[in-house]
Amino acid sequence: MKIHLNGKLVERGEAVVSVFDHGLLYGDGVFEGIRTYNGRVFKLEEHLARLEESGKAIMLTMPTSREEMKKAVLDTLRANGLQDAYIRLVVTRGEGDLGLDPRKCHGKGTIIIITDKISLYPEEHYRNGLEVVTVATRRNLPEAVSPKIKSLNYLNNILAKIEANNAGVLEAIMLSADGWVAECTGDNIFIVRKGQLITPPTYIGALDGITRATVMDLAKKNGIPCTEALFTRYDVFNADECFLTGTAAEVIPVSKVDSRPIGTGKPGPITLKLVEAYKALTRSEGLAI
Ligand code: PMP
């Protein structure tokens, strides 16, 4: 496996960074998870734009231009001969000293690009729906570390994931500090009520998901009304349908939340329509490798 590290393609064993890298010491950096389908990178421009925006929010200037970053992603995919892949693009603050101060980090920052085979939720969950629970760990306060920043500090999400693991399910719903439904540990959330899609506004403390935006667009094209609105666990329990969206998960139906079956307890018709529309889109557009 070839890994891109700071402009060079190196073997996995040689892809090592300094123990003084602030990405490691402090989670000081940003990242993206991107997918390729059938030899084409899906929504690469959108992912690179979000990476830059996350960087801007933490005052981390990208070490290379958008075009150079794009080329580095494509070169890494080519070097690994991958057609269907998951891409992890990481930019850290780089090597500094043991203090927090990012001004002590010399160099332009560390760029890492890993391309690997995608690992998915088991297929049965796409057919039957996924069971999730709401966890006690609240999503980060947007006024503290905004969940809009896709930073290397994922401890908030990891704590929630541990709670999901302890409950024996694969995903967790995270609430905002005020108790509104925010998102999941690695996915955005939608509910369907009386034929209408509802997803939490990202200001509540959720990532501005690229799959979320794609699904909202597909809903519009398919004549399904979609709004961004605050809602609670009660609204999820009493929704007709519920599904999650994410680059890795795509569109996945939710069958049960906190032991309450959602709707009929089976994936609903609007969810299934969007699953198909998303599948068709991922196979029909993207930047050729
Ligand atoms: N929320 C969180 C916390 C995530 O980590 C992800 C995955 N990147 C998502 C939502 C979904 O975002 P996207 O559709 O851009 O992958």
> 195: domain CATH number?
3.20.10.10
Q: Which residues contact 256 (CB under 8 A, 6 or more apart)?
A: 129, 131, 132, 262, 265
If you take atom 3 of ligand 1, which residue's CA is the nearest one?
186
37 and 163 within one domain: no
Ligand 1 probe mutation, 41, 154, 171, 207, most atoms within 8 A of CB? 207
| Beta-bridge partner residues of 110 | 92
Structural domain including 84 reads: 2-116
Q: What is the pTM of this model?
A: 0.97
Q: What is the pLDDT of residues 189-200, one digit of tens each?
A: 999 999 999 999
* C-alpha distances in Å from residue 237, one per residue of 173, 196, 241, 277: 12, 16, 9, 25
Q: How confident is the model at residue 119 (pLDDT cuts 50, 70, 90)?
A: confident
Q: What is the pLDDT of residues 220-264, one digit of tens each?
A: 999 999 999 999 999 999 999 999 999 999 999 999 999 999 999
260 and 133 within one domain: yes
Q: Using the 3D structure, point to which of 85, 116, 147 is the last residue of a domain.
A: 116
Q: Tell me the average pLDDT of the chain.
A: 97
The pLDDT value recorded for residue 220 is 98
The pLDDT value recorded for residue 236 is 98
d(CA 101, CA 93): 10
If you take atom 5 of ligand 1, which residue's CA is the nearest one?
186
The pLDDT value recorded for residue 120 is 80
288 within domain boundaries: no
CA of 261 to the centre of ligand 1 (A): 24
* C-alpha distances in Å from residue 141, one per residue of 175, 205, 206: 10, 7, 10
* C-alpha distances in Å from residue 149, one per residue of 88, 113, 280: 16, 19, 29
Reduced to 3 DSSP states, what percent helix, strand and coil does the chain have, rounded to the nearest 5? 30, 30, 40
274 and 134 within one domain: yes
Q: What is the pLDDT of residues 122-170, one digit of tens each?
A: 999 999 999 999 999 999 999 999 999 999 999 999 999 999 999 999 9
- Pocket of ligand 1 from Cβ distances under 6 Å: 33, 157, 183, 186-188, 207, 209-212, 245-247
Ligand 1 probe mutation, 43, 188, 190, 214, most atoms within 8 A of CB? 188
7 within domain boundaries: yes
Residues identified as active-site: 150
The pLDDT value recorded for residue 106 is 86
92 and 188 within one domain: no
CATH number of the domain to which 79 belongs? 3.30.470.10
The pLDDT value recorded for residue 98 is 98
